[in-house]
Structure 1
């Protein structure tokens, strides 16, 4: 008798439990602006003006299609090309676009970092409350809750 290939496994390993992390909704406008900035890096005023014209043409073509009329990303890309065109028009001749020196980009990065820090602080606070709630539940099961000393934030943990 021959052995089947590949050999059968007798015990299957259970899959690791997956915890769904909260996700931010997709911001199509932000994606469009970032795509424009990546593409525009190192471009001079003439190249950005040509890209702006291409983007205007694409917007005009998209307006003729019902499913593309509400395209948030396309409008954001066009607005970003227009902003970059104005930025380089005001810059000295021969300047090229660099997102690292763009004040709008730096402000956005600072705002995103601040928002991420706020989200992280909220997650840490929720974890502390959950841990205290577990501790209070264990004390309750041991009938020792009346001897526990209250701490700051116990109201939220008890809720």
Structure 2
């Protein structure tokens, strides 16, 4: 192409269609590679959490950034069935500010990614723990059942308990 151009012609990559097509192809390939790496990371984390579930040690796992998407992957693998133990683990992690949930921004991001029953469960756990300090999460299993079957009621109860707590303070 340059050989056929007039002497002194300067190639401008910004307007050259061939160069732009190559750059677009490179960008698309890089995006596909990034998507594949992310899918592999999600699958590996889902495998890890599944193994911990099978060992009965999920509650000892430290939540990581992206576990909300991993939860969705586990649900997809289970044919859409929501695993109560994974949701309870995430609700507890949100309540106790474990792992990356120690960062308020991570908790806020999670609130936009997690389903309402799980968020209602976490909110209810938060208020129940304030009401009865030192209570074990295993003693609050009813909160998960309430949040799953009556999500709006569980959320309203959490708001009520928070308001009552602030009125007492």
TM-score range, shorter chain: 0.3 to 0.5
Question: TM-score w.r.t. structure 1 length?
Answer: 0.37
Larger Rg, first or second structure (1 or 2): 1
Question: TM-score w.r.t. structure 2 length?
Answer: 0.35
Where relative contact order (Cα < 8 A, 6+ residues apart) is larger, the structure is 1
Higher helix share: 2
